[in-house]
């Protein structure tokens, strides 16, 4: 299975589309690795700089309808080759969500209030997120201004089929063994 933890990247906007995640001009690449440097390259968001903000992150937290637009799985791969295997959002586009699980990656929707709360508490801090797949729980940790640890456990739900895809390492393995 992929690793589902790491430092968190916060993107505070809804409807981030696949062209913003990986622009069409890189779709002529045939290797996944080639997507790496171009993740979120066209995303215009105040305070966000892809060159400095993307490296060494493991988890992405964002708002509603993440990954809308094209069907390109390149969007999931661009995250994967940057070691970001978890996206937490208010909601996802159908195809993007399916692509994530098909690649054995985790797309977890959380209620808007919870996402609001996460942004309020953690977005301005260096935050680490761990995923407990047994308890269906994210563990967010950061330090407050006095250096004291802030720690929150945030439950999520995972469909049975999605869990099986994660365990099988994606849909090709799952389908080939079954159909």
**Contact positions toward other proteins, by CB under 8 A?**
14-15, 17, 19-20, 23-25, 27-30, 42, 44, 64-65, 68-74, 76, 91-96, 98-99, 102-103, 159-161, 164, 170-172, 175-176, 178-179
Least gap, CB of 72 to other proteins (angstroms): 7
Q: What are phi and psi of 102, to 5 degrees?
A: -60, -30
Rounded to a whole number of angstroms, the minimum distance from the CB of residue 91 to other proteins is 7
CB of 135 to other proteins, least distance (A): 20
Closer residue to other proteins in complex, CB, 55/169: 169
Least gap, CB of 116 to other proteins (angstroms): 17
Give the nearer residue to other proteins in terms of CB position, either 34 or 123.
34
Question: What are the tokens at 9?
Answer: 């990247």
φ and ψ at residue 172, rounded to 5 degrees: -65, -50
The least CB distance from residue 153 to other proteins, in Å, is: 26
In what helix (H) or strand (E) does residue 140 lie, and over which residues does it extend? strand 137-143
User: Could you tell me the two tokens for 21?
Assistant: 């995640």
Tell me how far apart the alpha carbons of residues 106 and 87 are, in angstroms, rounded to a whole number: 6
First and final CA of the chain: distance in angstroms?
Answer: 22
- Closer of 66 and 140 to other proteins (Cβ): 66
- Residue 112 or 124: which CB sits closer to other proteins? 112
Least CB distance from residue 125 to other proteins, whole Å? 29
Copy the structure tokens of residue 64: 């509603």
CA distances from 41 to 21, 23, 146 (A): 7, 8, 35
Any idea how long the chain is? 179
Query: Is the Cβ of residue 37 or residue 69 nearer to other proteins in the bound state?
Result: 69
> With respect to other proteins, which residue has the nearer C-beta, 57 or 74?
74
Cα–Cα dist 46/53, whole Å: 12
């Amino acid at each position: 299975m992929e690793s589902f933890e790491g430092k968190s990247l916060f993107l505070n906007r809804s409807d981030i589309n696949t062209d913003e995640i990986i622009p069409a001009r890189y779709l002529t690449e045939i290797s996944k690795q080639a997507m790496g440097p171009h993740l979120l390259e066209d995303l215009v968001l105040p305070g966000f700089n892809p060159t400095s903000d993307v490296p060494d992150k493991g988890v992405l937290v964002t708002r509603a309808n993440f990954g809308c637009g094209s069907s390109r799985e390149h969007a999931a791969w661009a995250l994967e080759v940057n070691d970001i295997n978890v996206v937490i959002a208010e909601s996802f586009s159908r195809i993007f969500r399916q692509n994530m699980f098909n690649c054995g990656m985790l797309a977890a929707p959380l209620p808007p209030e919870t996402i609001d709360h996460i942004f309020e508490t953690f977005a301005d801090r260096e935050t680490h997120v761990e995923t407990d797949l047994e308890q269906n729980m994210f563990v967010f940790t950061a330090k407050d201004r006095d250096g004291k640890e802030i720690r929150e456990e945030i439950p999520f739900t995972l469909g049975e089929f999605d869990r099986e895809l994660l365990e099988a390492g994606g849909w090709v393995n799952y389908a080939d063994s079954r159909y």
